[in-house]
Chain A
């Protein structure tokens, strides 16, 4: 694979390939990817960016050699050279080579192979239950009642849970969770989502017809992007995303052959979004594509910042002025920890800015059952709300959603509980609130703990974790280590994270998987392990980091 990239690099160089977006030393590599994308590419689109200097996924194949049929058989129809080059170029670091390596190490541990640690701690992904967080009882009660309605007669289930389950079941064909629902989701759940948004946003109205239930937020995001991407060459749709970003965005953009337009968050300023940077990025992008979409992640993933009201207003004004379609990824809206920080939905601010804005700015906002205090990732529940969508586009959206038939119905039921929780006076209210607050308080404490500990480690700097579930500290990597990483054909932070994994069993994701300013290095770590474990983990990281600095000094 690396030979392949290198060869492509030379090919790119000899073709004089220049990428208008990079200009950095990675230009050749970026071009290489697009040139290496063998076979004629469709249309006359510009070369697409690959993530800078990351180890490509396929290197994982090296880590775990697959038995290749030695026997002489003819060339496959589907090979690396004959497959869709857009898929080949796609990268998804959160489940990339480091996670594969972690899986291998776990297997070795089970086989009794000696390691300097006894377990792998997966701090790579925001998977709360995997880290021991307990499910919210009420949510599980409702979903179990829906799954096995005989339980509706069981005295051990509370009435408020039964009430919700009955309502959901009435919305299902044949009163069964096993029937398909309407493609945008069960109607009564869409209504509950609308009421939830109204309550959340202090009365700003929401229309159930604008709500679409989805298979996790990811499904909603890719669906909307799919509709938005069009054009060829210089008129190809550009999608503005933050750097660092959640790699779903770069993967979807790559898959759709859209143009990724980066705007950088300001690390010196707690990863704040700066409208001047948006302007710079947009202006540059206009030279080579048609930037139509602006994606915002708030609270930030992997960066954990919470956008203030002023910044949100500025962004909306900018989108209005520049005629950009806004995507607001708000899946961490319940995860706000820092004092003085508050979550403001884009929808709410948009309405408060007046009719010129709320009549015009096209907005899709996303939420999910996977994060917050519930952490129900496995259900793949989520929703999106759209505003100012052209009526015909709504038709197109419904059509597109209908091809995948419907979102998983138990996920829809879980989403319903999130937007329609027990209210004061109901039987389950106090337990629900207790469980919810216990999760959120513990997350807030861990956010603070992580920030404090990281900032005590020499050669590490961590911005406050205002929200979400991750720390994204900056790490100093000595030049000797960078050289050694180069020898291994790895990005320096990938090298760092691999070493960390091999020596401590701690699995974190290198910053290069999210994107970062050139020459800076980071990793993303979740704050989800239980507090005691987290403390030990942070201590281990500290020891590792100091040793690493010494070794490569």
Chain B
């Protein structure tokens, strides 16, 4: 081995030259032969890897997005395209679409991240008060220290108070776990619930269409996914008989233990009525299902007569035997609502009626990842303690919040209206959340062309749309849809004028596409 060292500098020079030549070390693998050392079969190959991971799919960041990034790169390099920019309407990423952060939240964060700013007179006192309180809760008064694994105690207490304010139902801080976005908490909860083999393997009821985090997590955990279809002809309402059907079918081959509900719906944008929530809770009680309520879009309600009802609230109000029996985990996040702070990866979950021993197991499981990102916890702490009337930031905070929600409501209506003007496209009201999920008719010849290309027809359409217009959407097949129907998911986040333009371009493209293939 020591003789190897003698060759060192020469080798390094040669390597450097090669790297420069190829422009990328990524191609090192292909060059190995003869004196450069031969390339062997790797330890980790597509055939030797974890098969469950291979089955994971995540359309929101799938091939369409990869292609969109390539197109952006090409545009930057000056490659001529029939469009000037790629519009990413594929993901609920508000700031990327130009939404401005809420000033107060960022002020509190900046103060915590760099405490010398606490003596800067340009920061308002209410932001400083929040920052001081949060810093006092961090070990060593630094956001750089680990927090307790379930999150900072004061923020968990804030969450409990927020839930009580929102629902009039008390919450126990010990039953609140801060998380790295809602996704992490959902996966953690599922991890606890999934076990058994064969017919005793855990089955999980999820809506169809669904947010692909669920299908991805279930594939990875090798759980059985049991889809219940939402009723597209009733504005994507949750249909109890369909839920019963899915459960019954599932019982034939696995052990259904969990029911996931997304309210407001992603990608479908429906807002669940109180009555429907009660029915779901009764169903979960009767059928002994663990309930998971994904409520990250709770602030995003636009439809007239629609109101958000938290599962925990309805559950508590239904009284015994439901309120003290049905096991429920509900999820919330910093990424949506009016704040749209996706990058901070902040979120929380509240559990109800969890077995005390399971609560311990949950605490243990979250301790392995040490703690949720503290800047996200800080932002959550700021969000849950907004400026009160009379405080210096109150007015600006309220204005910023209202402006975002107003704009989203306007875009929700605009999107629905404009999409429904396009013959062949039908869009349910966007009652809530951040997406339209219209059905589109695709001509048989387009379907044949898609088949020839080895793509689902709606992916084929979305790829063509991307190439032709720069508009990036996610095909319905990434979320699941009834056989023979096609959809896409589009966010309503682009600024109104841009959104209008986008919808016109989309309409024109679709019309021409249908012509081309009929």
Interface residues of A (CB under 8 A from B): 1, 39-43, 57-58, 60-61, 66-69, 71, 73-74, 76-80, 82-88, 90-92, 94-96, 103, 125, 127-135, 140-141, 143-144, 147-148, 151, 154, 156, 172-174, 176-183, 202-207, 209-210, 215-216, 218-219, 226-230, 248, 251-252, 255, 292-293, 310, 313-314, 317, 323-325, 351-360, 362, 374-380, 388-393, 396, 399-400, 402-411
Contacts and interface: CB of A to CB of B under 8 A. Distances in A.
Given A39-B195, A180-B93, A360 B364 contact: no
Contacts of B100: 176
B350 interface: no
B113 interface: yes
A74 B325 contact: yes
Contacts of B371: 377-378, 380
Contact of A377 (B53, B144, B197, B325): B144
A552 B107 CA distance: 57
B360 A353 contact: no
A42 B222 contact: yes
A178 B95 contact: yes
B373 A179 contact: no
B11 A218 contact: no
Given A177-B343, A207-B25, A227 B144 contact: no
25 contacts: A1-B357, A57-B361, A66-B359, A73-B321, A76-B327, A78-B290, A79-B358, A83-B195, A84-B192, A87-B364, A90-B365, A131-B140, A144-B113, A148-B107, A180-B343, A202-B12, A215-B345, A227-B44, A357-B37, A377-B371, A379-B143, A396-B53, A400-B56, A406-B342, A408-B180
Nearest to A43: B197
Given A144-B117, A183-B61, A360 B344 contact: no
Interface string B23-61: 011101101100111111011111011110110111011
Given A78-B355, A179-B95, A228 B50 contact: yes
A380 B373 contact: yes
A431 B97 CA distance: 38
Contacts of A255: 191, 368
B367 interface: yes
A92 B117 contact: no
Interface of B: 1, 4-5, 7-8, 11-12, 15-16, 19, 24-26, 28-29, 31-32, 35-40, 42-46, 48-51, 53-54, 56-58, 60-62, 69, 88, 91, 93-101, 106-107, 109-110, 113-114, 117, 120, 122, 138-140, 142-149, 180-181, 183-184, 191-198, 200-201, 213, 216-217, 220, 222, 257, 288-290, 321, 324-325, 327, 339-345, 353-361, 364-365, 367-376
A219 B369 CA distance: 7
A41 B57 CA distance: 26
Given A143-B114, A176-B343, A406-B343, A207 B145 contact: no
Contacts of B19: 205, 207
Nearest to B341: A178
B140 A205 contact: no
Contact of A77 (B122, B180, B257, B372): B257
Contacts of A360: 32, 37, 39-40, 42
B49 A393 contact: yes
B58 A402 contact: yes
B361 A77 contact: no
B289 A77 contact: yes
A254 B462 CA distance: 41
A317 B28 CA distance: 19
B367 A92 contact: yes
Q: Which applies to chain A's interface (DSSP): helix, strand, loop or mixed?
A: loop
A369 B7 CA distance: 34
Contacts of B257: 77-78, 82
Given A130-B140, A252-B368, A58 B16 contact: no
Contact of B50 (A129, A226, A403): A226
B361 A80 contact: yes
Nearest to B35: A355
A379 B343 CA distance: 12
B43 A324 contact: yes
A58 B356 CA distance: 11
B373 A378 contact: yes
Nearest to B147: A378
A103 B56 CA distance: 39
B42 A179 contact: no
Contact of A408 (B15, B321, B373): B373
Contacts of B62: 399
A251 B39 contact: no
Contacts of A411: 373, 375
Contacts of A403: 56, 58, 183, 213, 216-217, 220
Given A215-B180, A227-B50, A403-B56, A378 B146 contact: yes
A210 B27 CA distance: 11
A238 B78 CA distance: 50
A358 B16 contact: no
A130 B374 CA distance: 13
A68 B146 contact: no
A167 B100 CA distance: 19
A180 B340 CA distance: 10
A388 B24 contact: no
- Point out which of A127, A357, A389 has the most chain B C-beta atoms below 10 A from its C-beta: A127
Contacts of B289: 77
Contact of A129 (B8, B39, B51, B140): B140
A505 to B, nearest CB: 16
A151 B110 contact: yes
Contact of B113 (A71, A132, A147, A324): A147
A99 B141 CA distance: 20
A362 B44 contact: yes
Nearest to A91: B364
Given A84-B195, A391-B29, A406-B342, 15 more contacts: A78-B192, A83-B358, A84-B192, A127-B139, A144-B113, A147-B110, A180-B343, A215-B180, A226-B53, A252-B368, A293-B43, A378-B138, A389-B44, A403-B58, A403-B217
A408 B56 CA distance: 22
A174 B360 contact: no
A380 B180 contact: yes
B22 to A, nearest CB: 10
A463 B315 CA distance: 58
Contact of A66 (B43, B327, B360): B360
Given A207-B26, A378-B373, A390-B46, A354 B117 contact: no
Contact of B343 (A39, A80, A178, A251): A178
A40 B96 contact: no
B146 A125 contact: yes
Contact of A90 (B99, B321, B341, B364): B364
Contacts of B44: 227-228, 292, 325, 362, 389-390, 393
A57 B364 contact: yes
Nearest to B100: A176
A75 to B, nearest CB: 9
